[in-house]
Structure 1
Amino acid sequence: MLSVLKKLFYKEEKKIQKDPMKKYLVVGLGNIGPKYQDTRHNIGFQILDALAKEENLTFETQKLGDLATLKHKGRMLLLLKPNTYMNLSGKAVRYWQNKEKILPENILIITDDINLPFGALRLKAKGSAGGHNGLKDIETQLSTSTYARFRFGVGAEFSKGRQVDYVLGTWNPDEASAMPERLQKGTALIKSFATAGLAHTMNIFNGK
């Protein structure tokens, strides 16, 4: 019985790998290294780490980033944390998109956003980089701004000229206590994007 189940599993896995409609590249933006680990700018890494923990996945260091694979309801999600540092994120995105033959509409980029209040979730099909260096590089490398982006609000509680210090700072106690619930919402959004589609997921999660 076990051998039959294994054969069915591998058969389904091969079908997913061959079907570009069922493969997704989910990229969390951030900077590598302990000094950046719990900073606002690294929310992309934090959300993917939460998803990996939820699904008992392990990231492995591969070319241009750490990668984990999630199989969920007939979909294959490649979870990528680039190790190129934020400003060169596009290089890793382009490499893994090409290598895995991911359709542009199946790419999801997770990033922080100072224009949204803390914890707000915003999914969009496209948009400008909005001054975010990671998104700027992705647009340059992919030659388009038409890719889905999941923005996580980090607020803008900083004085003039202190934006860099703020986004590279850690969560305050109130934010830290709210993070588990916010991260859970974020992982649910990712799964919904891959299974229910962009429009439905936007209706369910935006502003929540």
Structure 2
Amino acid sequence: MLRVCHRPLRAPQLQRGNVLTSGFSTSTRSDNAQDSAKAAASAAPPKYDHVRKLIVGLGNPGDKFTNTRHNIGFVAVRHFLDTYASQVTGKRLKLEHEAGNHGDVARFRVAFQQNAADKSYVYPVDDLVNRSSKRAKERTLKEGVPHEEVNVALLLPSTYMNCSGTAVRAFMQSHRWRVKKNPLALNRQDELLVVSDDVALPFGECRFKAKGGPGGQNGVRDIIKCVGTERFARLRIGVGAPHWFVGGNSGAPSGTAMDKFVLGRFNGDEQEAMPDLLSYTNELLRLYLHRGVAQATTYANSMDLERYLKQYGASQRARRQ
């Protein structure tokens, strides 16, 4: 009886070269390489001539929380859009709700206005750096600023504060935002800045932070969780009661109902000072956009609102914005 040897079926091997060796495929190496290149290109973040910066203002949605201390991030970012950004672009910029991104969004390109000639220009042509010394201004005129033009996106999450990361992650995914590994670097990689309240700072103080933990801010904590990194900048706006920080004290007394405090509204003195504070935060955001977080940190961390008004002042027209 004849025995039939059943051997496994092998794919015929074709000649090497541009043709793949597997006989079951008619694709060429060049075709495969082109497909791989296309796939890589579609996965990579888009390239832009100017750096992209996403500024997120934190707060809680709804009339119930309007003008509360916890919503100062909302207030500062919206004010920046309505006043400075709209003025320098010459457009009435508005936030538009984007359900897919769980928030209100505005996008625009802003240029450094060192040579603005518009007679109706409200804000000082020179920023805080140029106004600090004649030498600094001469250097700017000679060398320019690191980011002369910036593609800006503003995001106010429509989630509650503790779920802010959902909106930030959705926006970053839909716009293929890839946050740079080093927030201090002055390259053209994407950036993220989160603007929030901070009870550990007295009203009138603002501090930048290049990266790090949430510092007790639940909105920042959720963003860190959702985007998977602590490497993004923050602008912390102080909302702490001034009397907490006198007589050697460095914060709220023990037993302070902090939730009730941050969800409360600013007192009369604070409301009166609010236009000046928002002019100050506008200046700090302007520094961040065009000079980067390192230089913005140098200026913000060396002054407060009182010193800013004394040293630089704010035009009466700007204060009314």
TM-score normalized by structure 1?
0.86
SS in structure 2 at match of 1:107: strand
Tell me which protein shows more helix as a share of its residues.
Answer: 1
| Whole-angstrom distance in 2 between the partners of 1:205 and 1:127 | 18
Q: For 1:72, give the aligned amino acid.
A: V
Deviations 1:113-153 (A, max 9, x none): 00001020100101221221111101110111111000000
| Whole-angstrom distance in 1 between the partners of 2:178 and 2:49 | 6
- Pick aligned residue for 1:115 from 193, 200, 203: 200
| Whole-angstrom distance in 1 between the partners of 2:153 and 2:67 | 23
Q: Which ranges in structure 1 are unaligned for 5 or more consecutive residues?
A: 1-16
Contact 2:50/2:151 (<8 A) preserved = no
Q: Which ranges in structure 2 are unaligned for 5 or more consecutive residues?
A: 1-45, 87-91, 112-148, 184-190, 245-251, 305-321
Q: Does 1:164 align with 2:259?
A: yes
Contact 1:90/1:142 (<8 A) preserved = yes
Q: Does 1:192 align with 2:305?
A: no
Contact 1:121/1:151 (<8 A) preserved = yes
Percent identity among equivalent residues?
38
Greater relative CO, 1 or 2 (CA 8 Å, sep 6+): 1
Q: Does 1:38 align with 2:67?
A: yes
SS in structure 1 at match of 2:215: coil
| Whole-angstrom distance in 2 between the partners of 1:83 and 1:139 | 18
Q: For 1:155, give the aligned amino acid.
A: G
| Whole-angstrom distance in 2 between the partners of 1:134 and 1:41 | 10
Paired positions, count = 192
Tell me which protein shows more strand as a share of its residues.
Answer: 1
Q: For 2:174, give the aligned amino acid.
A: K
TM-score normalized by structure 2?
0.57
| Whole-angstrom distance in 2 between the partners of 1:21 and 1:128 | 29
| Whole-angstrom distance in 1 between the partners of 2:205 and 2:211 | 18
Displacement, 1:52? 1.7
Counterpart for residue 96 of structure 1: 171
* Bigger Cα displacement from structure 2, 68-77 vs 38-47: 68-77
* Bigger Cα displacement from structure 2, 47-56 vs 117-126: 47-56
| Whole-angstrom distance in 2 between the partners of 1:114 and 1:46 | 16
